[in-house]
Structure 1
Amino acid sequence: MDKEQLSYIEESGIIFEQMGMTRMAGRIFGFLAVSDKSEASFDEIRQALDASKGSISGTTKQLINAGLVQPVSLPGDRKTYYRLNKVAVGQLLRARIQLFNIFADLLSKGRELKKSEDDVSEWLKEVSAFYTWLGGEINAVIEKWENVKDDIM
């Protein structure tokens, strides 16, 4: 890895941290993004990032669950390799929209369970409505993107 690639990896870590994930998640993502190989083994990632096995193990699981990284196996090799999950961006966002809807339902249920109407009740109502609305808006944007992306790219 050259100096610019290493800098990108560290920058990815900081940005992921600002997005609420761990710095290591960003570093692994950054490494996989700039690596000259399409996938990397657990040990290659660990060595490149000079990190512990536990840190790499837990973080790759988080990235897999987030849909950002995909485990792969190669014919004749027992190791697990990791690569960026190249699913359509719309697919990633649709998974997040489902979480928005689940969160909106949770807030609505909390409001229903409250014994009194107060400012918290109003907040629960507004945030629930916002997340429901936002999910619909994001779906519309995804559909628009899917219709125009070939023209843009």
Structure 2
Amino acid sequence: MTEEKLQYIEEAGIAFELFGMTRMAGRILGYLIICDKESVSFNEIMEALKASKGSISGTTKQLIHVGFIEPVSLPGDRKTYYRISNMQVGSILQERIKLYEKFSEVLEKGRRLRLKEDRVASWTLEVASFYMWLGKEVDQVIKKWEREKEEVIKTYTENNESRKK
């Protein structure tokens, strides 16, 4: 693997940490993005990233759960392979909306159980309200994305091509 690809994998790991996920999750996703194969085995990931079996196992489960990667089987092969998911961006965000709503419900329940109107209750109310609101806003963004994605992708591609020159 080239030095540039190894560096990209590490950059992906650091970027994922900014999203609150593990560095290993970003490294695995980064590897799958730059890998020339459609799908790779567990052992290939482990060897490429020089990581432990436990680390790769737990992280691939996490990435499957959030919809970034998916396990696949190949005919005549008992190994499990992994590839970038076919899940649409909107579907990934829809799953996030459910988490926002659940988080909001938990905060609201805690606020009610507090039985005291103070700074903590105010903070909890604001955060619970924000996540409920955010879920509704993200839903609208997904719908807008579906309407406009071809044009957005075209513009993005054109802008990136002009930057390379």
TM-score tier, shorter chain, comes to: over 0.9
2:32 is matched with which residue? 32
- Whole-angstrom CA distance in 2 between matches of 1:6 and 1:42: 18
2:137 is matched with which residue? 137
Once the two structures are TM-superposed, the CA of residue 125 in structure 1 deviates from its matched residue by 0.9
What is the Cα-based RMSD across aligned positions, in Å? Answer: 1.0
Once the two structures are TM-superposed, the CA of residue 19 in structure 1 deviates from its matched residue by 1.9
Matches within 5 A, 1:79-118: 79-118=79-118
Matches within 5 A, 1:66-77: 66-77=66-77
Once the two structures are TM-superposed, the CA of residue 31 in structure 1 deviates from its matched residue by 0.2
Give the TM-score of the pair, scaled to structure 2: 0.89
Once the two structures are TM-superposed, the CA of residue 151 in structure 1 deviates from its matched residue by 2.6
* Secondary structure in structure 2 of the residue aligned to 1:71: strand
2:23 is matched with which residue? 23
- Whole-angstrom CA distance in 1 between matches of 2:66 and 2:87: 12
Once the two structures are TM-superposed, the CA of residue 29 in structure 1 deviates from its matched residue by 0.6
The gaps in structure 1 that reach 5 residues or longer are none
* Secondary structure in structure 1 of the residue aligned to 2:70: strand
- Whole-angstrom CA distance in 2 between matches of 1:134 and 1:58: 29
- Whole-angstrom CA distance in 2 between matches of 1:138 and 1:18: 19
Moved more, 35-44 or 2-11: 2-11
* Secondary structure in structure 2 of the residue aligned to 1:59: helix
* Secondary structure in structure 2 of the residue aligned to 1:36: coil
Give the TM-score of the pair, scaled to structure 1: 0.96
Aligned residues: 153
* Secondary structure in structure 2 of the residue aligned to 1:96: helix
The gaps in structure 2 that reach 5 residues or longer are 154-165
- Whole-angstrom CA distance in 1 between matches of 2:121 and 2:62: 33
Once the two structures are TM-superposed, the CA of residue 32 in structure 1 deviates from its matched residue by 0.3
How big is each residue's C-alpha offset from its partner over 1:27-55, in whole Å with a ceiling of 9 and x where there is no partner?
A: 11100010000110001111111111111
- Whole-angstrom CA distance in 1 between matches of 2:130 and 2:6: 39
- Whole-angstrom CA distance in 1 between matches of 2:137 and 2:115: 32
- Whole-angstrom CA distance in 1 between matches of 2:17 and 2:23: 5
1:10 is matched with which residue? 10
How big is each residue's C-alpha offset from its partner over 1:44-84, in whole Å with a ceiling of 9 and x where there is no partner?
A: 11111111111111111111112111011011110000011
Once the two structures are TM-superposed, the CA of residue 127 in structure 1 deviates from its matched residue by 0.8
Once the two structures are TM-superposed, the CA of residue 10 in structure 1 deviates from its matched residue by 0.6
- Whole-angstrom CA distance in 2 between matches of 1:54 and 1:20: 20
